[in-house]
Amino acid sequence: MTTDLHSVNISKEALFDIILAGLEAYAIKHDGQDVVAIETFAHMWGRTNKNLPFKCYVDHLTPETSAARTRGSVTASDISLELKQDIAAIFGKGFEYIGTMHSHPYLKVEQGEKGEVYEYDAKTIRKKKFYQCSDTDHKSEFTSSTVTVGKRKYSVAVILTVHAMDRARDELDGAIDEQVFEFSLGNLKMWLFAQVFEHVDSDDLTDQDVSEFGKFELDIKKFDDEFTFPIPVSTKLNCEALGTSGFLLDGFGRLKISDKDSLYTNKKQAEKRFWHKM
């Protein structure tokens, strides 16, 4: 494993696609679903550096409208990726497959399958780092790597966490650390998170790899029949379009959302903050 910072660079176009895909799944009720705020899943395309340290540039996103999407999970079809990869190959340079993006939708109050009630707010999401990979997300990286640089193999996961707050609060908008950026649009709070995984063969695993494997609470001992391990490596998220504080100066509407319903009031009607009326 290398100790250099691995970077994920997200273009303005890709950020636009990520927000659109994430918010559409969060705010709008989908066919055959009786709830709002479902997860979304997309493939990411762009360019990668041919030399180390690992650097990728995400320029395009293709949401998986065929994925089985629910509040707590999303499953995509393998055929769809194969089809998209062949299409991307025709377009050539700049259309390399980089990895996946999915969303983590959180409502203020959510009901579990057995009627249990969960409550979320921005503070809890920050404190418990719900914006980063879950153990299940990490597990899904065991499937083949997506980018090869020299002899090293990598995959990339980007997550957009979305939470509608009672009111707009943007005072904490900005970078939380090198791989997480917090920003808001109206009362919608979002966190953009990127993680690079280096796929290391079991024979080559170092002590540091083994310790870093546990970053998202997976126990490496439970995977002793695997040949290659996705090690979460130090990652730097770069997104110029977010600047240093996101969309702090931009007005936006307000989204009222509960388990089964949502109502969006547009910017013109909803934006009452002094700064945005100037």
Q: Which residues of this protein are in contact with Zn ion, per CB under 5 A?
A: 134, 137
Minimal distance, residue 237 CB to Zn ion, in Å: 16
Minimal distance, residue 28 CB to Zn ion, in Å: 20
Cα distance between residue 4 and residue 196, in whole Å = 12
Q: Which residues pair with 236 in a beta bridge?
A: 7
Closer residue to Zn ion in complex, CB, 149/156 = 156
Minimal distance, residue 100 CB to Zn ion, in Å: 10
Question: What is the token pair recorded at 171?
Answer: 């005072």
Closer residue to Zn ion in complex, CB, 121/137 = 137
Closer residue to Zn ion in complex, CB, 134/245 = 134
Minimal distance, residue 204 CB to Zn ion, in Å: 27
Q: If residue 212 lies in a helix (H) or strand (E), which one and from where to where?
A: helix 207-213
Q: Are 244 and 220 in contact (CB under 8 A)?
A: no
Where b means 16+ CB within 10 Å and e means fewer, 226-262 reads eeebbbbbbbbbebeebeebbbeeebbbbbebeeeeb
By Cβ distance, which residue is nearest to Zn ion? 137
Cα distance between residue 232 and residue 241, in whole Å = 25
Q: Are 164 and 256 in contact (CB under 8 A)?
A: yes
Minimal distance, residue 132 CB to Zn ion, in Å: 9
Question: What is the token pair recorded at 130?
Answer: 């719900």
Question: What is the token pair recorded at 22?
Answer: 């994430």
Closer residue to Zn ion in complex, CB, 64/271 = 64
Closer residue to Zn ion in complex, CB, 216/264 = 216
